[in-house]
A and B are shown apart, each in its own frame.
Chain A
Amino acid sequence: MGASTTAATTPQPRESLFSAKQIVAMALGTALYAGLTIPFNVLQIPGVGLIAIRPTIAIPILFGIVFGPVTGFVSGFLGNTIADALSFGGFFWNWDLGNGIIGLVAGIGFYIIARRLWTKSRGLTLAIVVAAVASLVGIGFAAVTDYAFQIGLNTWGAALSEFYSAGGTDAVNGAIVTPILLYAYATATAGRARRV
């Protein structure tokens, strides 16, 4: 009784941003995002360049919610870089950064969605909102920089078209898939005796 009381009141040391768990989460999040995105990159939205329908956008969002904004950013940025390099042989720095920003903004969920809410409707609703907002912010960055640096676009209309198509579908993909993955992960870890 005394030990559990002590454990409950003893302040826990703050986990390092670059602990072994975070490093592995960044690496596996990157590998998961890239490895699952490549097969989906063949599903192109017609007429808007390389934008693909990507349910896997939920991966960096999920990693941002579960492990924090830095892990979300690295998973999105590196994962998209590798996926695009292997799918198209290209390197689109602003879209890579945009995907990183999606994971970074989704990291807000790390602070506002407590672990106990991962299986509750309130937590899942927050996850939907976080996923949609993060997608719009990240894709918005990519579309704006495409226009600002005239990478394939030179009119605001074309940039908006790009934003509506990619941002809209990523927001829908993220909003549908993220809460399902979050719920599944929470359920899978609920009965584990090991640390999670």
Chain B
Amino acid sequence: MTEIRNFPGNTFLHRLDPRNKFFLILLYIFVEVAFTDIRVLVLPFLASIILYLSARIPFKEVKSSWKFLLTIIVVISTVNALFTLLGASVAHPHVIASFWFLTLTEEGVFFALAALMRFMSLAIIAMTVILTTEQTAYAPALAKLGLPYKGAFVVDLALRYLPTYANELDTTLNAQMARGYKARAKGGLRARIVNTIPLLVPVAVGAMLSIYDVADAMELRAFGAMKKRTWYREVKAREIDYVAFAVIAVLLVVTIYLRTQITTYWIPG
């Protein structure tokens, strides 16, 4: 789970230029921030499901992610419904049912549904993009988008070392357990935090010391000497990518227009 794994395939999303995938995620973020009207939110929600299904990702590979998402759905819905039911933002709520100090209102139900759709749309589309994009494509795509190569290199190097440090944590845990360390500490918050120190210190300090070695190796290879550099992997747009970009651009314009017309929740009746 610590590698950004993608699942090989030949679907439309697998072949789509990674830059268009970044723009798609940005569009979804904009929609999530801009709208609370469920009539608008249902469209990107359905689109995210269609895109996910079109990517043909084997379910067993993403079962754990779906478990997390479903858990979050329950938590977010419950928390939202509970706080909304306290009626802080609605002057005359339409009550559906009440029990003790809890009151179920129409406004609460629609707010919870809207919040759920916003969260789920972005989660599904982000998961789909990650699973259909090769790890080596992120940095060259960011560079082609105009990010200076040092910035793209930060992303590339971070993704390269991510599994290394996760594995080191595992190795350190095994080594410490061989010396009598118990991973599950008894006690309150402070005891649990302090119990992580034997794991964090060796991995963190080891990583920080290696920064200078890596930096020296890069400087010896003239890193930073030239303003521009090439990448081993090229990202090239095809005709279909230009069409996809045009579609995303049109959707963005439509979204901005709709935002000027729809500014609040919608409740039927």
Contact = CB atoms under 8 A, between A and B. Distances in A.
Interface of A: 18-21, 23-28, 30-32, 34-36, 38-40, 47-50, 53, 55-56, 58-59, 62, 66, 74, 78-79, 82, 85-91, 93, 149-158, 169, 172-173, 176-177, 180-181, 184-185, 188-189, 192, 194-196
Contact of B197 (A19, A34, A40, A180): A180
B239 interface: no
B158 A89 contact: no
B2 A86 contact: yes
Contacts of B189: 53, 169, 172
Given A36-B203, A152-B115, A49 B157 contact: no
Interface string B159-175: 11111111001000000
B212 A31 contact: no
A28 B208 CA distance: 8
A181 B200 contact: yes
A154 B83 contact: yes
A144 to B, nearest CB: 14
Interface residues of B, number: 74
B251 to A, nearest CB: 18
A32 B2 contact: no
A38 B193 contact: no
Contacts of A32: 161, 165, 203-204, 207
A39 B169 contact: yes
Nearest to B165: A35
B169 A177 contact: no
B101 to A, nearest CB: 14
B17 interface: no
B224 A74 contact: no
Contacts, number: 217
A48 B65 contact: no
B214 A173 contact: no
B200 A55 contact: yes
B1 interface: yes
Interface string B192-227: 111011001101110111111011101100011000
26 contacts: A20-B223, A23-B153, A27-B157, A28-B207, A31-B158, A35-B169, A36-B165, A39-B169, A40-B196, A47-B75, A49-B79, A53-B193, A55-B200, A62-B208, A66-B208, A82-B158, A86-B1, A91-B29, A151-B115, A152-B76, A154-B80, A154-B84, A157-B83, A158-B79, A176-B190, A192-B209
B86 A155 contact: yes
Contacts of A152: 76, 79-80, 115, 118-119
- Of the listed residues B165, B204, B218, the one surrounded by the most CB atoms of chain A closer than 10 A to its CB is B204
B205 A38 contact: no
Contacts of B197: 177, 180
A35 B163 contact: yes
Contact of A177 (B25, B33, B196, B218): B196
B162 A82 contact: yes
Contacts of A176: 190, 193-194
B141 interface: no
B151 to A, nearest CB: 9
A69 to B, nearest CB: 16
A98 to B, nearest CB: 15
A21 B215 contact: yes
Contacts of B36: 150
A24 B165 contact: no
Interface in B26-55: 29, 32-33, 36
A152 B200 CA distance: 32
B88 interface: yes
B244 interface: no
A48 B75 CA distance: 7
A177 B200 contact: yes
